[in-house]
A and B are shown apart, each in its own frame.
Chain A
Amino acid sequence: MPERVLRTAYWDITAESVSGSAHIRRNKPCQDYQDYKRYDDAAVPCICLAVADGHGSEKSPKSALGAEIAVRKSLEKLQAFAQGVSQKPFDVINTFAQEQLSRHIVKEWTDAVRAKEPARADLPTLFLEYGSTLLSVLITPQYILYLQLGDGDILCVAADGSVNRPIPKNPRLFANETTSLSMIDKRTGQPNGWLETSIVLAPIADPQSTPALIIVSTDGYANSFSSEAGFLQVGSDMLSIIQTDGWAKVKRELVGWLKEATAIGSGDDITVGLLHNNMAKTTILRGR
């Protein structure tokens, strides 16, 4: 059995957002947001990445700020989660993630939105004004946690270049309709976005066999490709480019690729976060 690597420094990480070409033509700001933190020297070393897509509709005029709050609160809670559950067995961590983590993130987000406008009593309308999706990844030496609320995509690329989705696509989310941090239970009036949140925890037995690359993106990216297969190809192509030209090339070119995608594709804001496992034993053919 391979020895567990008790660190996370072997992961490269980056994230970028570009304004949608259709948004630029209409003088609309980018309503996506992204950020990442790495805590390689923490008691439990961990890396957190989050991307969020503010709805941008007339009913969600402050959704760019809502997306920023979503990312900030998610990063805080993921880091706290990683530290809080250290030493626990994997099953306990998984149970806690499924039962508590998304509730905590949604509560932090709604509390932060309320704090922005404390005089407001019309909470469903207020939350909708800031409405946003959220996709996050937490990597510790013990496990990888994937979290998704709303549309967008998380792709895992194996060392051989094969691509899969750790969280299956939600068939309800199409035609620009998405679940959201702003969702409210109509009966109780309480925020219930946590009910629509999917969380998957994958144990790390051996860094060499964990995903070689994790891609987190807002829906503007997938919508720029003419087919699902064309979008999934991003995973194997990205890994191939990293192998051939190095991580620095991907970091350097990422914004240009995203600008090209929105210009001749969806026209929507696009955000992509990348986590590259440089210990993975990649077998993908160079120059494929």
Chain B
Amino acid sequence: MPARPGGEIATRPLYFFWIVDCSGSMQGNKIQSVNVAIREAIPEMRRVAAENVNANLLIRVLDFSSGAHWKVATPVPVDQFTWTDLSASGVTDMGAALRELAKQLRMPPMPERALPPVLALLSDGQPTDDFDGGLKELLDLPWGKKAVRMAIAIGQDCDREILQKFIANPELRPLEANSPEALVNQIKWVSTVVVQAASAPPSQAANTNTTSNVPLSLVAAQPTPTTSGDVW
């Protein structure tokens, strides 16, 4: 006789995707800053995960330049996740990246009981491929629509309209990162506040003018003062 009824009990998976622009324009200081900022954010992500024991935070990494490539293809528990430096060259195939994401957000492999996944897109430029087609594939999926889609605009030349289309939520704007300090802050915010919100989202009534099923405040969208003098 079972000690308690039912099969295996488990926390709900929370999939976090880093989606990083590695095109040629990211070469040098920008990609180095991304590498440093995400590496520094990992302990913060672990801390937030430890405070939300009912969410199993799993990390994946996708980069895009000439094509899209999984750098971390299998979801890795945040406790075991390490950041491997990315390098930059090539064009900006953001549409290809969204198509790759769409493949992974279908059910299966995505389980229905998962928490809304977090898609964190970092880019400094403009897509060079079929962005709209890739975005449509993503947003046509139930999990694509329900995902928490965040975007960090690196530098002043970044196409914010494109990132806004990706976010597809008028209540949220791309996070501005026009300096290494700002990039660190925005990545830290996405790694903590967004993960916290996605770890224990309350129920949301359908059709109630709520564009996101994970409520977020935009505290981090404020500009970060630059102290290094390095502005992108």
Contacts and interface: CB of A to CB of B under 8 A. Distances in A.
A222 B113 contact: yes
Contacts of A260: 4, 9
A233 B202 contact: no
Contacts of A230: 6-9
B6 A231 contact: yes
Contacts of B2: 237, 240-241
B204 A265 contact: no
A55 interface: yes
Contact of B205 (A26, A131, A238): A131
Contacts of A180: 205-206, 208
B5 interface: yes
Nearest to B54: A267
B73 interface: no
Interface string A169-192: 001111111111011101000000
B160 to A, nearest CB: 27
Contacts of A172: 206
Interface in B107-132: 112-116
Contacts, number: 158
A60 B142 contact: no
Interface in B199-227: 200-208, 210, 213-215
A224 B9 contact: yes
Contacts of B6: 225, 230-231, 233-234, 237, 261
A183 to B, nearest CB: 6
Interface in B1-28: 1-2, 4-12
Interface residues on A, range: 35 or more
Interface string A119-162: 00000100010010100000000000000000100000000000
Interface in A177-219: 177-180, 182-184, 186, 196, 219
B5 A177 contact: no
A193 B11 CA distance: 31
A227 interface: yes
Interface residues of B, number: 37
B204 A55 contact: yes
A183 B202 CA distance: 17
B10 A225 contact: yes
Given A22-B200, A265-B54, A177 B206 contact: yes
Given A225-B10, A226-B9, A244-B1, A178 B54 contact: no
A257 B52 CA distance: 21
A248 to B, nearest CB: 15
Contact of A178 (B4, B8, B12, B205): B205
B64 interface: no
Interface of A: 21-22, 25-26, 53, 55-60, 124, 128, 131, 133, 151, 171-180, 182-184, 186, 196, 219, 222-231, 233-235, 237-238, 240-241, 244-245, 253, 256-257, 260-262, 264-268, 286-288
13 contacts: A21-B54, A131-B208, A177-B203, A184-B208, A225-B8, A230-B8, A233-B6, A234-B5, A237-B2, A238-B5, A244-B1, A260-B4, A288-B1
